[in-house]
Structure 1
Amino acid sequence: MSLSDHEKEALIALSLVRGLGPGRIRSLIDACGSARAVFAADPGRLRAIRGIGSKICGEIRQLDRAAQVRRQLNLARNVGARALAPGQAGYPPLLKETYDPPPVLWHRGAEDLTYDFPIAIVGTRRPTVAGRRNAYNLARSLGERGWTIVSGLAYGIDAAAHRGALDAGGATVAILGCGADVVYPVANRRLFDRIVERGAILSEFPMGEKPEATNFPRRNRLISGMSKGVVVVEAFEKGGGLITARFALDQNRDVFAFPGPAESVASAGSNRLIQAGEAKLILNADDVEIEFDTRNLTTGRSVVHGQDNRAQDDDPIVGILSADPQHIDAICVATGLHPAEVQIRLLRLEMNGAVSRLPGKRFYLRR
C-alpha cells in the first residue's frame, strides 16, 4: 500500500493521543477520509463521531503534533526502527485481518520476514524445568521446519521459545508491551539483541513507552492476532498465557496446549483449556503440523507421524465418525465403549491426526 510520509506522520500522531485506541482511530479516519484530515476537521464534526466526544476532541486539538511526531521519528532513527501501517510491506498480514489492528506498528530487525507460517508459543514466567524444555524443543523443531516463532520476550516460556527458534537458525518475533526501543525485562537484553539481528521486534506502543501492567493484555492480542495458532506450554489458572489463548479463540485462531501433571499448578490453566475442548492437546511439532496439514517448509519432506494407518482404520471410532462433528456422548452410544475408553481412543486418534476436536467435546474425522 502506498502511504505518503505526511499520512504516516498523521497516523503516528493519532496513536499518541490519550484515550484513542485502534477502534476510535479507525472511526475517525472513516469519518474524515484520512488521518491528516482528522487534524484539519472542525471540532464539532469530531465531537459528533461516535466514541470521540469533547474530551478526546480536546486531546486531539491540544497535541503538539509536529514536535511529538518528530520526537518519535528521532527515537526510532536512533535504534533503526521504522513505522508500519496496515497493508504496508512488513506489517503482519494476519494481524491486519483482526478486529482492531494497530494503525501503527514500530518494527526493529529483519525487513524481509514474510510471516508465511507464524505460530505463537506462550506460557508462564515461572515454568517448570519440563515446561521450559518443551517450549525450547517445540520452537527449535518448528524453526527448523520454516515456521516463524512469535512470543512476548517475557521470562520463562517466552524466552525459551525465542531461544529455540534462534538456535535452530529460524526466525522469531517478539511483541512488546513497551516501546520498541525499551528492553524489558532488562535481563533479556542479549536475547533482545539476537532477535533484532535474526528476527523482529514489534510494538504498537510509542517509542520510549515504559512497560505498564495494562499494556500487556493489549500486547497479547497482537501475539495471537499475527499467528496461525497459539501454543500454551504451561499456564497457571490466571496469567498472560490464558489471556492470549482467549484472544486467539476470539480471533478464530487454533489453540494448542501441552498436558501437564494434574498436581502441577504451572499446568492448571493449560490443562483446563484441554479439558474444556478449547485447546488441542499436542506433544511435539508433528502434532502442530498435522493440524495445519503442512509439510517441512525447509526441505519439502512430509512429516512422518510414525503410526500405522491400518491400526487407526480398525478403530471402531473411525468407523462411525465422519466430517460432521459428533459429541463424545453420541460416540459412546454408537460404539458401545466405556466413556473412559472412548476418551483414550479419541486422544490417540487426535494425536495421530486422524481426528480433530472442536469446542464442546465434539469430534470429526479428518480423512
Structure 2
Amino acid sequence: MDETTLRAWLVLNRAPGVGTRTFTRLLDHFGTPDAILAAPLAVLAGLGLGRTTLDYFSHPDADGVASDLRWLAAAPEHGLLTCRDAAYPARLAQIADPPPLLFLRGDPSLLERDPMLAVVGSRTPSASGEELATQMAAELASAGCTIVSGLAAGIDGAAHRGALSVGGASIGVLGTGPDRIYPARHRRLARQMVECGLLVSEFPPGTRPLPHHFPRRNRIISGLCQGVLVVEAAQRSGSLITAEFAVEQGREVFAVPGSPRNARARGTNDLLRQGALLAENVADVLHGLGLVVQPECDGVHGSEPTVPADLPAAARQLLAVLDSEPVTPDLLVTRCGLTAEAVSSMLLLLELQGLVKTAPGAGVYRAL
C-alpha cells in the first residue's frame, strides 16, 4: 500500500461520525478511501454525513494521522490490516459490522491459523475458575486451537497464559489503542503476546480504555472464532455480551457448568439453559467444533491428583466434602464434626500432598 492510500485509510479511521457501518457503506459506494476523501462535500452530505464529519474531511486530524504513521514505523512487529486486504480474516469479514482497520502487534500469520476458539469469563473469577481456564486453554492450545481473548483481568488473562505456557498460539483483542495495555498489570503478559502471539485493536494508537470500547471489541473476539467458551460468568458479566455476539454471528457457544451456590457461575448456567453446549472438559469443546478428540482430552477438567492409600481417615473425611468451590476452615469444622485443630492439621497435610489448594481470603478447595 502506498503512503497516500495508507494516509487515506487512517484519516477515515479517525473521522468523527464515521462508525464501522458508515465506513463500509462509503467504501462500497466510492470504492477506495482516496475516492471518499476526494468526493465533493455536497455528495457526501447527500449520503447522510453530518456537519461535524464534513468539517473534518475539510480539515483532517493531521497530528493524529502522523502519530499513527510513527507508531506503524516504530517496530517491525507493528502492522495494519484493512478490510480490503487479502489477509483480512474471512470469518471476521462476514459479521454485521467488521472493523475497517486492525492495528497489529506481533505475528499476523496467527490470524490465518484455524481452529480459533475464544475463551472468556469473569474479571474476578474464583481461584478454581481461573485455574480451570488456564488448564483448558493449555489443553485446547495443545490440541491445535488458537486461543482468542480480551487480555482482561481474570479468565481472559488466564486463557492467554494457559495457551502460551504450552507454546500455543494466542490472540488478544484490545479495547484500547495498540500502544496501551489495560489493565496495566498485564503489561508483561502483553509483551509475551507480542513475542509469541498477537495483539489486535480496531482503535488507533493513543486510544484510552473507555468503558464503551470493551463491549464493542467483544464482537471481534467472537467474530474471529468458530466458537466461544465461557468458563465462569456472573449474570451481568461482559463475557455474556461476547456469547450474544457469537449467537448472532452463528458461532458455537460453550459453557462450563458451575455450582448453583457460586454467583460467578450463574451466567454460564443461564447460557446452558438457553442452549449453549455443555463443556465439562476439552473433549466436549473439540467435539462441538467438529475436531478430532485425542484420548488425553477425555477427562473431566483433566485428571485429579491421586489420593495416597495411607492418607489418614480424617484427611479423607475432609477431602470428601471439598469440591472446586472454596470453603472456609470454620465451615469444614461444621461439616465434618472435627475439631478446628484437626481440620487445620489435615488441611496442611492435604495441601502438601497437592490435593487441596488455598484461595486467598476465600478458603480452600479441592485441586483439579
- The counterpart of 1:77, out of the listed 60, 66, 73, is 73
Measure the CA separation in 2 of the matches of 1:170 and 1:81.
Answer: 21
Report what 2:51 is aligned to.
54
1:234 and 1:258 in contact (8 A); partners too: yes
Report what 1:195 is aligned to.
193
Report what 2:103 is aligned to.
106
Report what 2:92 is aligned to.
95
Report what 2:24 is aligned to.
26
- The counterpart of 2:206, out of the listed 169, 194, 208, is 208
Q: TM-score, normalised by structure 2?
A: 0.77
SS of the residue corresponding to residue 170 of structure 1 reads coil
Q: CA deviation at 1:150?
A: 0.3
Measure the CA separation in 2 of the matches of 1:262 and 1:34.
Answer: 53
Amino-acid identity (%): 39
Report what 2:279 is aligned to.
282
Report what 1:250 is aligned to.
248
1:87 and 1:93 in contact (8 A); partners too: no
Q: Deviations over 1:191-217 (max 9, x none)?
A: 111100110000000111111001111
Measure the CA separation in 2 of the matches of 1:74 and 1:282.
Answer: 45
- The counterpart of 1:121, out of the listed 109, 119, 122, is 119
1:132-151 alignment runs, 5 A limit: 132-151=130-149
Q: CA deviation at 1:58?
A: 2.2
Report what 1:179 is aligned to.
177
Measure the CA separation in 2 of the matches of 1:7 and 1:303.
Answer: 50
- State how many pairs are aligned: 298
SS of the residue corresponding to residue 201 of structure 1 reads strand
Q: Where has structure 1 moved over 6 Å in runs of 4 or more? A: none
- The counterpart of 2:234, out of the listed 217, 236, 252, is 236
Q: CA deviation at 1:239?
A: 2.0
- The counterpart of 1:38, out of the listed 36, 53, 65, is 36
1:83 and 1:106 in contact (8 A); partners too: yes
Q: CA, structure 1 residues 89+193, in 2 after alignment: closer, same or farther (shift >3 Å)?
A: farther
1:230 and 1:248 in contact (8 A); partners too: yes
1:295 and 1:303 in contact (8 A); partners too: no
1:110 aligned partner, one-letter code: D
2:92 and 2:224 in contact (8 A); partners too: yes
2:252 and 2:289 in contact (8 A); partners too: no
Q: CA deviation at 1:87?
A: 4.8
Measure the CA separation in 1 of the matches of 2:137 and 2:16.
Answer: 37
Measure the CA separation in 2 of the matches of 1:220 and 1:200.
Answer: 16
Report what 2:60 is aligned to.
63
1:37 aligned partner, one-letter code: A
SS of the residue corresponding to residue 240 of structure 2 reads helix
Structure number with larger C-alpha Rg: 2
Measure the CA separation in 1 of the matches of 2:6 and 2:160.
Answer: 31
Q: Deviations over 1:105-144 (max 9, x none)?
A: 0000013322311100001100011210111111000111
SS of the residue corresponding to residue 256 of structure 1 reads strand
2:51 aligned partner, one-letter code: S
Report what 1:260 is aligned to.
258
SS of the residue corresponding to residue 112 of structure 1 reads helix
Measure the CA separation in 1 of the matches of 2:84 and 2:26.
Answer: 18
1:319-330 alignment runs, 5 A limit: none
Q: CA, structure 1 residues 197+35, in 2 after alignment: closer, same or farther (shift >3 Å)?
A: same
Alignment of 1:293 with 2:290, yes or no, is: yes
Measure the CA separation in 2 of the matches of 1:266 and 1:134.
Answer: 14
Structure 1 unaligned blocks of 5 or more = 308-367
Q: CA, structure 1 residues 117+87, in 2 after alignment: closer, same or farther (shift >3 Å)?
A: farther
Q: CA, structure 1 residues 189+305, in 2 after alignment: closer, same or farther (shift >3 Å)?
A: closer
Measure the CA separation in 1 of the matches of 2:180 and 2:72.
Answer: 11
1:8 and 1:85 in contact (8 A); partners too: no
Report what 2:15 is aligned to.
17
SS of the residue corresponding to residue 109 of structure 2 reads coil
2:174 and 2:201 in contact (8 A); partners too: yes
Measure the CA separation in 2 of the matches of 1:304 and 1:178.
Answer: 35
